[in-house]
Chains A and B, each alone.
Chain A
Amino acid sequence: MNRPSKLGRMDWFLLVVALILCGIGLMNAYSGSRVHGVPGTALVTKQLAWILLGVAGFFAVYFLSDGFIEEITYGFFLAVLLLLVVVLLAGRVRGGAQRWIAFGAFNLQPSEFAKIAVTFALARYFSGKYRYGGFGLVEVLPAIGIVLVPFLLVALQPDLGSAGVFLFIFAGMAVVACVRGKVLGFFAGAGAAAIPALWFFMKDYQRQRVLTFMDPERDPLGAGYHVIQSKIAVGSGGFFGKGYLQGTQGSLRFLPEQHTDFAFAVFAEEWGFLGSLLLLVLFLLLVHRLFFLTVRSQDRFASFACGGIAVFFLTHIVINLAMVCGLFPVVGIPLPFVSYGGSSMLTNMMALGAAANLSRSRFTFQGGGGKGREIAS
């Protein structure tokens, strides 16, 4: 039997869905960056460059030889931690938080890379210790350490939204990696108990956001403004939408961050419920595929890593959409592939590349595909 080439064993489905989402994002950025009716092509060009760079990143990661990713996982993790320290010490301050490192013409956001680094580090740890019967509390503690360090570094920036994503990834990975039900329950309980303590550590603007989330009308022109305007954008789209380039909430600048975190509001206003449904279906296909790869991967590291990546995307998608339609406090979480933003585009593409890389071994023998459907049935 001929071993098919790497390209032949590629999971094209992932890349195609991602590129469709990128296309939607690009189109949406064109409309969303309109200022007073004039489209901003500069931003669209930049985003296109990021997409191309992202695709290159996808293949760069994809073509890494088998086992390489697992090998460099901890090194990568340490390098990202270093970057997080650097950004804390010498990063750019924007909007009250220190999140960016200037890198030539681009601004990098190391917290984006940290999310993937944590995912892989956890996958490496859990796969190394794996045994039947699941993990107990003692085995889970080092994993908590792996999450806690970057979590604190990001939370200090302060970027509570991204920091929260670490917790979601950890929780998701703990489920996939078969941490015992009792232990999961213990952490869930501890987490719930920690919420009041968390309130204590929050900065003032963060508390405002939470309070405003509970009741946006308490400050309609201040902190509640984002949520109210975003809900108006989504709601006014109606069933069929106002039509492409016909949205008013974004172009007249009622929406904040209309091409980054609130990109979906612009989309939902112009494409309505039908557009929202389409976008949800595309995201579901992506997440479903990643879980399929989790189940079908040939070794545990690959399996856990794919599961982690699935949770990573799921977290971003759900939090962003929930935030835009007023179900979640406003946090700086972009919508994968759709929101404008270089670091997140690069991270997302490389994460997909890694998922494709890790799962290609299941194509070592022909006919490995197709069975994945059963988990969705």
Chain B
Amino acid sequence: MTGRIRKREQDPDITRRSRILLYVAFGAFALLLGRFYWLQVVESGRYRNLSENNRLRMRTVRAPRGLILDRKGRAIAETQGSFALVCSPVDVKDLEGEIRLLNEIMEFDVDEEEVLEKIRTAQRSNPYSSLTVARDLRFEQVSVVEFNRENLPGFSVLVEAKRSYPYGEAFAHVLGYVGEASPEEMEKPGNEPLMMGDLIGKYGLERLADNVLRGVNGGRKVEVDAAGRDQRLVEEVPSRTGGTVHTSLDVDLQVTAQEAMGDRAGAVIALAPRTGEVLAFYSGPGFDPNMFARGIRRADWQALNTNPRKPMQNKGLQGTYAPGSTIKPFLAMAALEEKMQEIGKPVVCPGSYRLGNRVFRCWKEKGHGAVDMYRAIVQSCDVYFYTLGLKLGPERVAKLERDAGLGTITGIDLPGERKGLVPDMEWKRTVSKERWYDYESLLLGIGQGAVHLTPLEMTVGYATLATGGEVMRPRVISKVIGMDGAVRSAPPERMRKLPWKPENVEFIRKALAGVVNDFGTGGAAKLPGIVVGGKTGTAQVASVKGKMIKSEHLPYEIRDHAWFIAFAPVDDPQICVAAMVEHGGHGGSAAAPIVKLVMQEFFRTRFVGPPRKGGA
């Protein structure tokens, strides 16, 4: 009945055409449904991951490095909180533009090109990592970055642990410095946990004890919005601070050594002779290791490396110099041990020594007259030691010197130690076809010629004289406390005991005491109440023919190196100090006062009893 009373029957064409469109609609909807099925059911796992990657970021919380302490527990390398500009490469929208903006607003303290390159690399290889772009921001810098946050997607300011060296240059060479781990360093075994931007010890103790000092990074899983801004903390794993390194260094001695050296180039080393503990180890000119902790600028780095006085070199460890007269006690010792010269037998010094047709001068033009061994050491008579060198020959001299630690690796726990050279006949054979000449033996006596040694070797040698033949391994680290609390201490290590006769040792000590206290060349190191024994050295850098010219009147580069090495008290040595001043002139006037100041500081807090009977 329904259709019958209609005004008009439906047009069959329209019905047919509508049905076609409806089928089109069905088709389109089926296609959409298929697409939804594909995205939401088949591929949904992949998209779920992508959405999590979108939303979640692992923010590395870098572990603070452990402390390095001096012998009294004072921190000489520590970790401080500082503001760092951190970049999350994946969230950066317009890298060049943002870097330009950063540069404008905060007087960017780092190399722009370098930063661009670093972030671009990270964007390709590891976009979800976080990079530290600038460290140690000033407060104004932090506030301008925060103010411009909207325009700096991907950049944020975080509080990061910064390495800090409270004594600056004083400990630069011993402590070394840290820097971001290079790709090569990250690949080394044991360095697997290192992430891009992590700090690693590059030099000095920082490098040597890196595995102790390095902590374990923590992480913060955060939810970010599309602009990369943190919204919510999802999960946090705290970082673990690295272990502690105790050293035998003494801040007071180190600072004294630095101040005594002033702006001169050279090295000061102080050892406890009986244990080998390093009390001070200064090399000048230094550098400020804090500069590296901030991330050193290319220009600063270049300036350090092109400075002719080589501030990056640890002169005590790596610089080798002719020892000059400081070698003389070893020749005396060799002569006594080999029974080739009696203590009391005099040698006449007319002011020069003729060998064949060559004349070798004594430093004292007028000559010393007749001198015995004691006087020869005290007055540092060159002629006396020319004769000793000639008598002993290279083999005997080299043997004793090497036994005492000269020309050998001392085994100190600092990276990069170099050894000097004690010449002998075999060495001569290997470097040249010529035989060993007598004049070379002669020069052995005054520490010139081929011989060149590091200040550390000389210090160890004098410590061996002080202990009467006990060669101790010098060491800086006294104790290490790992992250897990495990304590590993480093006890004194005696490398060897030389069979020196006690009376010979006693004589050498007495003679060295005479150098300082008995009108000798080292009077400038005299201390009230304490008997210091030492020896000066003035090592020629260039031979000047003809007239004697005072070193001070020569150009800086060819002025003599000044040495002074001493221990005290002579009858019970507690400290052995070497000072070497590059192109410093006379040992007695340039180096001895440095040693005096260091010893004075050392004994300021230590009680020393009256001199032993029979002592110097």
Contact = CB atoms under 8 A, between A and B. Distances in A.
Given A231-B39, A325-B39, 6 more contacts: A239-B44, A248-B223, A252-B231, A280-B29, A298-B6, A314-B24
Contacts of B232: 37
Contact of A303 (B14, B32, B48): B14
B496 interface: no
18 contacts: A172-B21, A177-B14, A177-B17, A221-B93, A232-B51, A234-B36, A235-B39, A236-B47, A236-B51, A238-B41, A239-B41, A249-B54, A254-B55, A254-B225, A280-B32, A291-B19, A322-B35, A375-B22
A310 interface: yes
Interface in A343-375: 364-365, 367-368, 370-371, 375
B32 A367 contact: no
Given A236-B47, A252-B231, A284-B29, A325 B36 contact: yes
Given A248-B54, A249-B54, A371 B3 contact: yes
Contacts of B93: 221
A325 B36 CA distance: 7
A259 interface: no
A311 interface: yes
B18 interface: yes
A39 B551 CA distance: 84
B17 A176 contact: yes
A356 to B, nearest CB: 18
Interface of A: 36-37, 132, 134, 172, 175-178, 221, 229, 231-239, 248-249, 252-254, 268-269, 272-273, 276-277, 280, 283-284, 287-288, 291, 294-296, 298-300, 303, 307, 310-311, 314, 318, 321-322, 325-327, 364-365, 367-368, 370-371, 375-376
Interface string B1-21: 111011110110111011111
B29 A253 contact: no
A370 B1 CA distance: 13
B47 A232 contact: yes
Contact of A234 (B25, B47, B224): B47
A222 to B, nearest CB: 10
The 8 A-B pairs of least Cβ separation, nearest first, read A235-B47, A236-B51, A273-B40, A253-B226, A238-B44, A235-B39, A252-B225, A367-B2
Contacts of A325: 32, 35-36, 39
Contacts of A376: 22
Interface string B216-228: 0000000111110
B37 interface: yes
Contacts of B2: 365, 367-368, 370-371
Given A238-B40, A254-B226, A273-B37, A232 B50 contact: yes
Interface of B: 1-3, 5-8, 10-11, 13-15, 17-22, 24-26, 28-29, 31-33, 35-37, 39-41, 43-44, 46-48, 50-52, 54-55, 93, 223-227, 231-232
A314 B11 contact: no
B47 A322 contact: no
A288 B28 contact: no
B14 A295 contact: yes
A232 B224 CA distance: 16
Contacts of A132: 13
Nearest to A271: B40
Given A295-B15, A300-B11, A375-B15, A234 B226 contact: no
Contacts of B8: 298-299
B33 A277 contact: yes
A267 to B, nearest CB: 11
Nearest to B40: A273
B40 A239 contact: yes
B433 to A, nearest CB: 71
Contacts of B51: 232-233, 235-236, 248-249, 269
A224 to B, nearest CB: 13
Q: What secondary structure prevails in chain B residues at the interface with A?
A: helix
B226 A252 contact: yes
Nearest to A361: B7
A294 B18 contact: yes
A280 B40 CA distance: 14
A231 B39 CA distance: 7
B284 to A, nearest CB: 52
B37 to A, nearest CB: 7
Given A298-B8, A325-B32, A375-B15, A175 B21 contact: yes
Contacts of A327: 31-32, 35
Contacts of B15: 295, 375
B225 A175 contact: no
A280 B27 CA distance: 12
A240 to B, nearest CB: 9
Contact of A273 (B11, B28, B41): B41
A236 B48 contact: yes
Given A239-B40, A276-B40, A252 B224 contact: yes
A213 B40 CA distance: 20
B32 A321 contact: yes
A283 B231 CA distance: 37
A175 B25 CA distance: 13
Nearest to B30: A280
Contact of A134 (B13, B36, B55, B225): B13
A322 B13 contact: no
A268 B36 contact: yes
A1 to B, nearest CB: 10
A341 B138 CA distance: 48
Nearest to A130: B11
Contacts of B46: 235
Given A231-B47, A239-B41, A176 B18 contact: yes
A325 B29 CA distance: 13
Given A232-B54, A298-B6, A176 B226 contact: no
Nearest to B46: A235
A177 B31 CA distance: 26
Nearest to B47: A235
A230 B36 CA distance: 12
A355 B231 CA distance: 48
A365 B44 contact: no
Nearest to B44: A238
Nearest to B5: A365
Contacts of A367: 1-2
A318 B19 CA distance: 18
A234 B39 contact: yes
A311 B33 contact: no
B185 to A, nearest CB: 32
A37 B46 CA distance: 24
Contacts of B225: 36, 252-254
A280 B43 CA distance: 20
Contacts of A177: 14, 17
Contact of A291 (B10, B25, B54): B25
A221 B226 CA distance: 11
B55 A252 contact: yes
Given A268-B36, A287-B25, A238 B14 contact: no
Interface centre among B36, B225, B226 (most CB of A within 10 A): B36
A277 B36 contact: yes
Contacts of A296: 10
A375 B20 CA distance: 10
Contacts of B25: 284, 287-288, 291, 314, 318
A299 B9 CA distance: 10
Contacts of A221: 93
